[in-house]
Amino acid sequence: MSEWLSTFRRGLSVDNPLTVLMIGLCATLAVSTKFEGAFFMGAAVVFVITSSTALISAIRSLVPQQVRIPIFIVVIASFVTVVDLGLHAFFPAVYTFLGVWIPLIVVNCAILGRAEAFAYNNPVRLAIADGLGMGFGFGGVIILLAAIREFVGTGRLEFMGQMLVALPSWYRGPGIVLLFPGAFIIFGFMVAGAGVINRRIHGRVVETSLHCTIEEGGRK
């Protein structure tokens, strides 16, 4: 069980897909303009990454090495399409906001990356831990980034039509925060912050992310 927990925790901290591995950044920078949208994006990614890594890990002994990538993509794309249809049917407002970024979860390299680097070589139990950890790691960072951008850029923070925080109406946020340059700048500070925290707590920043747990031909 401790192995499960440590795998799960790695996704949140020292192997965080966004601040450490830096995969799946394009969707992150584009969607993180609104707290609400980022929340559902994070939720969608948690669902897709956990279910795809679980399924891929379950069928891994049946997947020949040379066609593994097409099979991973089909599995991931199927889960993404399920999310796409589900959001369209039940959360039309969120669907409108996320727009093209839902189908593009397919090419979120965080998901394919984890399928390839972890789920293909590890049992289902650990693959789920990794998927959840990576998903929540991704979701947490994108939500935080979106909250900062929405709050600084517009002076307000809304969720499902509810106003969470609002500055007085004379506040005019710097528009750049809502555009891509602002996303890069704030994200840069977040990477730096995550580096400091990881170094303090774990005494390392990127060591573990540099060697993926790859097992060749059944050898551990």
Partner 1 sequence: MSSRAASTPVNMLLSVLVTCVASASALAFTYGATYERILAQEKAAEERALLAALPGASSFEALEEDLVERADAAAGDTPVSGVWVASTESGEIGWTIRCGPRGYGGPIQLVVGLDRNGKVTGVSIVTHSETPGLGSSVLEDAEFMDQFDEWDGADIDRSAKAFDAISGATKSSVGVRAGVLAAGYVYRDVLSEQNGGGERE
Name the residues that contact partner 1, by CB under 8 A: 33-34, 37, 60-67, 70-71, 74-75, 77-78, 81-82, 85-86, 88-90, 92, 96-97, 99, 121, 150, 153-154, 173, 175, 178-179, 215, 217-220
Instruction: Give the whole-angstrom CA distance, residue 169 versus residue 214.
Output: 54
CB of 55 to partner 1, least distance (A): 10
CA 11 to chain centre: 10
- Shortest approach of partner 1 to residue 203 CB, angstroms? 31
Could you tell me which residues are beta bridge partners of residue 150?
A: none
> In this structure, what are the phi and psi dihedrals at residue 14, rounded to the nearest 5 degrees?
-70, -15
CB 73 within 8 A of CB 106: yes
CB of 201 within 8 A of CB of 13?
A: yes
| Cβ proximity to partner 1, 82 vs 192, nearer residue | 82
Minimal distance in Å, beta carbon 186 to partner 1?
A: 14
Burial class (CB in 10 A: 0-12, 13-18, 19+), 130: buried
CB nearer to partner 1: give 113 or 158: 158
Supply the minimum distance, in Å, between the C-beta of residue 141 and partner 1: 19
Kindly give the residue spans of alpha helices, DSSP state H, lying in 32-172.
Answer: 35-58, 68-90, 92-98, 109-117, 124-154
173, 163 Cβ separation under 8 angstroms: no
Tell me whether residue 4 or residue 101 sits nearer to partner 1 (CB atom): 101
Output 24 or 153, the one with its CB closest to partner 1: 153
Identity of the residue, 207 or 215, whose beta carbon is nearer to partner 1 in the bound complex: 215
Rank residues 90 and 170 by Cβ distance to partner 1 and give the closer one.
Answer: 90
Question: Whole-number minimum distance, CB 200 to partner 1, in Å?
Answer: 34
Nearest to 185 by CA among 149, 151, 157, 156: 149
The Cα–Cα gap between 206 and 72 comes to 26
In whole angstroms, how close is the CB of 124 to partner 1 at the nearest point? 12
